[in-house]
Amino acid sequence: MEIKKKDIRALTKEQLRTFFETQGDKAFRGNQVYEWLWGKAAHSFEDMTNVSKETRQMLEAHFVINHIKVDQMQRSSDGTVKNAVRLHDGLVVESVLIPTKSRTTACVSSQVGCSLDCRFCATSRLKRMRNLNPDEIYDQVVAIDNESRLYFDRPLSNIVFMGMGEPLMNYNNMIKAIDKITSPEGLGMSPKRITVSTSGVPKMIKKMADDEVKFKLAVSLHSAIDEIRTSIMPFNATFPLDDLRESLEYWYAKTKNRITYEYIVWDGINDKKSDVEALIKFCKFAPSKVNLIEYNPIDDGEFQQANTEALDMYVSMLEANHITVTVRRSRGKDIDAACGQLANKG
Ligand code: SAH
């Protein structure tokens, strides 16, 4: 009978050290292998050149390294790069490299598909197939860091969890991945350069606050009026705005970290003065800023980006209320790499 080999990166460093001891070897060997697995992101045991051949064969007999494979890479005319990432079981997710003058941002996926049902997002049509493992999230970051060095001659500077999936519905694995990304034994990046974007799962926002995480939080708000938000993000019926607001107040009280609200203004949906007034009120519960993002059409035209006047109204009313507002232009639209367009079309 064939025994299913375990993914070696599911082991902690301590577990790896113990494994070597049970094999009659030195625990220290575990540190060496751990360094290969994370710091050097080795793809195979063969790569571990300072580990003896016998040890490598022994590891091979017990474990696998479930490494991701970048199947297809597309480059946009604006420099954005989209990776179709094949997982060990054949499923595919997407991640995106977004370059600006001074930084490179990686937009990574946290799940295959998504269990939420935002009606304007292409990923929601894929349904949730499974959560990504910590190493699969980590590998996406390593791949983009390598591409950044190759194409832009600089390391990756920022990470946003704005690819496929809802990161707070895969909380433990997301946290484990971020631990590795920020640890000196992994990529050693500052958590301040990482933003986790959520549709708003109140219970998990409170958990993050209790865990005293150091990364930034962005919430995809899109409307501060329950009836409207539920019509475009149906799960809002389960997690209504009052609960979301309460969790965000809790987050700010514990972390003192300002919240970013991501917000798209659509024609005929949330382009009225009353919509802006509700948003302003919501913004006052905890220090926050608003990021007005451009809508990337995904379908039959049911949703249309509002006109410039509506956007200007948002900007001027928010500013008049001393709320910081930025308008973000989309990148990588020509290769379906922009927000909400990730749906494994290839
Ligand atoms: N589930 C998380 C992260 C993935 S979505 C979240 O909801 O935040 C990342 C961002 O893209 C969110 O702000 C989301 O609202 C936005 N988005 C989804 N579809 C979009 C579209 N078609 N055009 C522009 N932004 C979109």
Return the domain boundaries, the chain: 6-64, 69-335
* CA end-to-end distance (rounded Å), the chain: 37
The pLDDT of residue 3: 66
262 assigned binding-site residue = no
Q: What is the pTM of this model?
A: 0.94
The residue whose C-alpha atom lies closest to atom 14 belonging to ligand 1 is 220
Tokens for 212, please give them: 């005293």
Tokens for 116, please give them: 């939420």
Q: Which of 101, 96, 83, 85 lies closest to 154, judged by CA?
A: 101
- Please write the tens of the pLDDT for every residue from 12-22: 999 999 999 99
The pLDDT of residue 345: 66
The pLDDT of residue 328: 81
Half-sphere exposure of 196 (CA within 13 A, CB side): 27
Q: Which residues sit with their C-beta closer than 6 Å to ligand 1? A: 118, 120-121, 162, 166, 197-199, 220, 262, 264, 293, 295-296, 298, 339-340
- Please write the tens of the pLDDT for every residue from 68-118: 999 988 999 988 999 999 999 999 999 999 999 999 999 999 999 999 999
Annotated catalytic residue within 94, 136, 147, 262: 94
* Active site annotation includes 94: yes
CATH 3.30.360.10 fits 69-335, yes or no: no
Tokens for 76, please give them: 């946009």
The parts of the chain modelled with pLDDT lower than 50 are: none
- Is 51:60 a contact under the CB 8 Å cutoff? no
Task: Give CA 253 to chain center in angstroms.
Answer: 24
* Active site annotation includes 246: no
Q: Which of 306, 246, 253, 252 lies closest to 120, judged by CA?
A: 306
The residue whose C-alpha atom lies closest to atom 8 belonging to ligand 1 is 198
Architecture per CATH, 6-64: Orthogonal Bundle (1.10)
- The pairing of strands 259-263 and 288-293 is parallel
